[in-house]
């Protein structure tokens, strides 16, 4: 063990903030269920990112297609260029929709509903606390008191703040 591994936080202060601790009376099954709901939301966030990637890639391709049409015309292939320009450049990717409309419909429908239910479940069951399942996993797997295994950052960030008035509290100041 070298100096960088020595404890930096007193063991009695090395604990998660209240927002990452289970409220009294909440059982394991509830924390597990909310953890699975959070996991599902994370997958939806990833899917949404892919949808935005699809939007950007499709738009980039359409712009390149427009340039290809111009180059085909310049090369003397006007009939083919005209057909591509008329039938493909600016075409809807789905019935009546460009990709921005797909994103808007997804965001306003499925995505908004998913987020609303995830938030409602947290608010109703654990007072709105997030990532309790992961926070408890961290507590099980880390080595309390060991550097790089701290419960929270040892800084002035919101995650590092403990105690009162957004800080570590009078006893720790």
Domain presence at residue 87:
yes
Domain presence at residue 162:
no
Domain presence at residue 147:
no
**Which range of residues forms the domain containing residue 58?**
27-140
Q: What is the mean pLDDT of residues 124-149?
A: 87
Q: Which two tokens stand for residue 96?
A: 């009546």
Domain presence at residue 35:
yes
Interval 22-32: pLDDT, tens: 888 989 999 89
8 A C-beta contact, residue 55 and residue 100: yes
Domain presence at residue 160:
no
Domain presence at residue 74:
yes
Point out the least confidently predicted range of 1-5, 22-26, 64-68. 1-5
Point out the least confidently predicted range of 39-53, 76-90, 123-137. 123-137
Q: Count of domains in the chain?
A: 1
pLDDT grade for 162, boundaries at 50, 70 and 90: low
Domain presence at residue 66:
yes
Q: What angle do CA 153, 155, 159 make, to 5 degrees?
A: 50
pTM for this entry: 0.74
Domain presence at residue 156:
no
8 A C-beta contact, residue 151 and residue 142: yes
> What 3-state class would DSSP assign to 165?
coil
Note the pLDDT of residue 151: 79
> What 3-state class would DSSP assign to 97?
strand
Interval 128-137: pLDDT, tens: 998 888 888 8
């Amino acid at each position: 063990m070298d100096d960088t591994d020595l404890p930096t936080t007193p063991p009695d202060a090395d604990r998660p903030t209240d927002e990452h601790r289970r409220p009294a009376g909440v059982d394991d099954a509830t924390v597990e269920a909310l953890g699975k709901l959070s996991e599902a939301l994370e997958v939806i966030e990833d899917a949404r990112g892919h949808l935005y990637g699809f939007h950007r890639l499709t738009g980039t391709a359409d712009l390149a297609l427009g340039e290809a049409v111009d180059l085909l015309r310049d090369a003397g292939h006007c009939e083919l260029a005209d057909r591509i320009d008329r039938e493909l450049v600016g075409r809807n990717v789905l019935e009546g929709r460009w990709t921005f409309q797909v994103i808007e419909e997804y965001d306003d429908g499925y995505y908004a509903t998913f987020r609303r239910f995830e938030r409602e479940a947290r608010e109703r069951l654990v007072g709105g606390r997030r990532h309790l399942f992961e926070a408890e996993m961290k507590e099980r797997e880390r080595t309390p008191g060991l550097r790089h295994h701290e419960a929270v950052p040892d800084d002035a960030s919101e995650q590092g703040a403990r105690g009162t008035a957004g800080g570590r509290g009078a006893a720790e100041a």
